[in-house]
Structure 1
């Protein structure tokens, strides 16, 4: 059979860049031509028959259900249904790169066809179509997307006759036609994608207010995690995936932060479950940002790329117990009629091989790694470092520009403080944390991992969280608090004492995914950086252990909540 070749979008050029830019969504919605074409192109993808290879449904389904071969990749190689899933793998960042490029390629193809139909100033629309790229949502800078993404049912575009026109907003939701029989409940009850659904029944609606409150509450945690990822993590295993054992960076992986966004946006809806997340239109905005962070991190760590690792039980197309590395085929993404893209071919801080770039790299000589690193360090500090600088003095050698000198091998571990807590009974059985205290309660460690005199001594406090990924039976969050915890768990995420959490993005049907079955006892790792919250709540003059250790032992509380579950519970020491 003939296979669909992934090239990414083609055509046009951005001045000073190797390829047209993907734009941040808040900027993108202001671009009349691109936004109008984008909305219409999405509608064409939505309207295609769900069995069509390049329909929105089929492309979204590559990520999970209905667990069928796409474009013949693995159709004859697998004895039983399984997914292409590479979550929890060193291939996580690179697998999603050609995936988003495929979506972007189809999107731009439709935009170019639409532009040809404009009867007013057609060359302007043709140019916009050639430059059109999938936008990204920089949630590290602004966790709440614009109304065009989360709240407007209608948007205004310029139609082919040059007139303004109000149309249904395809960024708001995708409507299934029909609901696929592979979907389990509650997804089998919902005719369209939902975010923070009001119920599990067919009458469910989005709870935009709850979604917005959740995302706003998460802003400090997400920004801090992103900044620490880009400035403190320097090995591929620690950067690429959420499996425990980060090499001592005491910072979250790209996948762990990615999981946080999925759970916070989904709130019990499709985005919170890998089996159906790809059907929510916000998925591709999110994953463009994930890919952008891969580009930024690569610019700061130019000599680091995919390492060798075990495939464990494998996937639909990756055999079990084999070595995976940067040459492993990233199925189902064909680059010729007989071969697939791999991580080595997908490398690049500005991956023009897929026809796109990011504004952060405009005007740079991509062969000058030092210049790129210096510029991106400045970008990272300006975009994401401001919260740290405002809250407490941050040593200059630990910011992005000096990240290579701030590796954990240069720093000495100092102390560990352990606090005891119980998970609310309504939300747990033997689930949750892999380590327990003597009384049987799960354990959380608050760690002050590093101290190195620079101009003055500096202590950083971080909570390290280990959990069994599949213990709860779905996506869940470990939430941390400094001070009193609301009795009603529905108020946890918006409590002023909520300081952050670790979020597990979990397949609700792991028995249908070979990779997930093999990871049944997988322990994943996450971190919550506590200094900003300690400064806000305790108003200490320093972070010295003599002051902070007893404070955390007294005030640090936590609990576990399954995503989408509203239950009452109390989190105790």
Structure 2
């Protein structure tokens, strides 16, 4: 069931909602993936949405991006919840894309992989707090008839499993970087500002609300060989409510009706937190302890702001992209709300540990089609969210 009309046996599916909602989030997803592939060179940070502690940086991960797609395509149906998502065939298409995204990153960063880490929850075969590493058995997946299990070491190369992806080509770093630029750089926030802007734009199949027109040269904002990138970092509790939820970020006016948020033309993007439903026997001692432990798990994700800011510059609503101008504009026009995927509102106060921080970094454009931009250090633009619910 996708976007079910209700949670009864008579519910009907609303598949027709998936495409438009994904389209309205497409630039955000594309920017996030491009930022992930060009910014991170550490496996744990790239792959894991768990909060890594204080520090000013891009707080996104492939897992967080994965969660948003799960939540949005389910629309409070099977895909939206950990308990049931694999019942939907979309699950398998989605995870092939996650596998492919990791394979692209891995081809570029083949010197970083699984690091030893203590588990934060128990499974059928691992205890809470048990340290697992690259050689821990990936039960229940047997690698041979003798009963041995696959490990992260033995499954490190997808070629070992008998397949590859077209965009990996010969596997060289330059080949994969060129593919990433071609596929995901066209609507990234930096696309109109970098060397990739000439001859590399791939026209979008349809106009995306709020997205810069890929056929129009973005404002010349490169100063001393660099441009400014803006990102909203979001931290919250994984199991803040009963099930999955979203943080919707807007730049400008939006409807007060939560059911309309996902299609707002001023929607910057949707941060989806993919979680399980509460256990049926929520009063049992084991489940109470489990929920107490779960409530301490903080996760992070980002929503890039640069593409929407560029669209506002192109429309004349924003004069330029420098930090003072953008800070003043976002102080007045950046808003966020929380909601469940059934179209209901969640009070921001109910989202445990919710913190939204706007950060900015100088980025040096790529010098060639097979090179990535170079990211500088991030700084916090504190005044934008200060004093608001969930503000830093």
TM-score range, shorter chain: 0.7 to 0.9
* 2:341 corresponding residue in structure 1: 563
State the partner residue of 2:149: 340
Does the CA-based 8 Å contact 1:308-1:325 persist in structure 2?
Answer: yes
In the other structure, the counterpart of 1:535 is 310
Aligned to 1:275: 83
- Is the 8 Å Cα contact of residues 228 and 251 (structure 1) preserved in structure 2? no
The residue aligned with 1:298 is 106
Partner of residue 361, structure 2: none
Counterpart among 15, 21, 28 of residue 208 in structure 1:
15
Match of 1:245 among 48, 52, 55: 52
User: 1:526 aligns to what?
Assistant: 301
Q: Distance in 2 between matches of 1:504 and 1:570?
A: 14
CA distance in 1 between partners of 2:131 and 2:263 (Å): 44
Where in structure 2 are the equivalents of 1:538-557 lying within 5 Å?
538-539=313-314, 540=318, 542-557=320-335
Report the equivalent of 2:274: 505
Structure with greater strand percent:
2
- Between structure 1 and structure 2, the one with the greater Rg is 1
Partner residue of 1:265 out of 73, 96, 100: 73
TM-score (norm 2): 0.74
Note the residue ranges of structure 2 that are not aligned, 5 or more in a row. 197-221, 350-387
1:388 counterpart SS class: coil
Judge conservation of contact 1:483–1:556 (CA < 8 Å) in 2.
yes
Summarize deviations over 1:324-356 as a string: whole Å, max 9, x none.
1111111111113332111111112xx122122
> Does the 8 Å CA contact 1:225/1:251 hold for their aligned counterparts?
no
Once the two structures are superposed, what CA deviation does each residue of 1:241-286 show, in whole Å capped at 9, x if it has no partner? 1111287540521100100110010000000001110110111111
Alignment of structure 1 residues 68-217 onto 2, 5 Å:
194-217=1-24
* 1:156-181 deviation line (CA, Å, top 9, x unaligned): xxxxxxxxxxxxxxxxxxxxxxxxxx
Number of residue pairs the alignment of both structures matches = 315
Q: Structure 2 residue aligned with 1:222, among 1, 8, 29? A: 29
How many angstroms apart in 2 are the aligned matches of 1:251 and 1:475? 20
Larger RCO (CA within 8 A; separation ≥ 6): 2
- TM-superposed CA distance for 1:538, in Å, is 4.3
1:375 aligns with 2:175: yes
RMSD: 2.6
Structure 2 Cα separation of the partners of residues 394 and 516 of structure 1: 47
Matched, 1:476 2:276: no
Cα deviation per residue 1:395-420 (whole Å; 9 max; x = unaligned)? 77xxxxxxxxxxxxxxxxxxxxxxxx
Alignment of 1:12-27 (within 5 A): none
1:385 aligns with 2:185: yes
Q: CA deviation at 1:487?
A: 1.3
Question: Matches of 1:298 and 1:567 in 2, distance apart?
Answer: 39
Which residue number in structure 2 is paired with residue 456 of structure 1? 225
Distance 1:313 1:487, change over 3 A: closer
Shift of residue 361 of structure 1? 3.0
In structure 2, what is the Cα distance between the partners aligned to 1:289 and 1:557? 31
Provide TM-score, normalisation by structure 1. Answer: 0.52
Distance 2:293 2:137 in 1: 20
**C-alpha spacing 1:391/1:497, structure 2 compared with 1 (3 Å):** farther
Instruction: Report the CA distance between 1:535 and its aligned residue.
Output: 1.4
The alpha-carbon distance between structure 1 residues 562 and 568, as it changes in their structure 2 partners (threshold 3 A), is: closer
Say if 2:117 and 2:131, in contact at 8 Å, map to a contact too: yes
How far apart, CA to CA, are the structure 2 residues paired with 1:313 and 1:389? 37
Tell me how far 1:499 sits from its aligned partner.
Answer: 0.7
Q: Is the 8 A contact 1:395 1:454 kept in 2?
A: no
**Secondary structure of 2:194's aligned partner:** coil
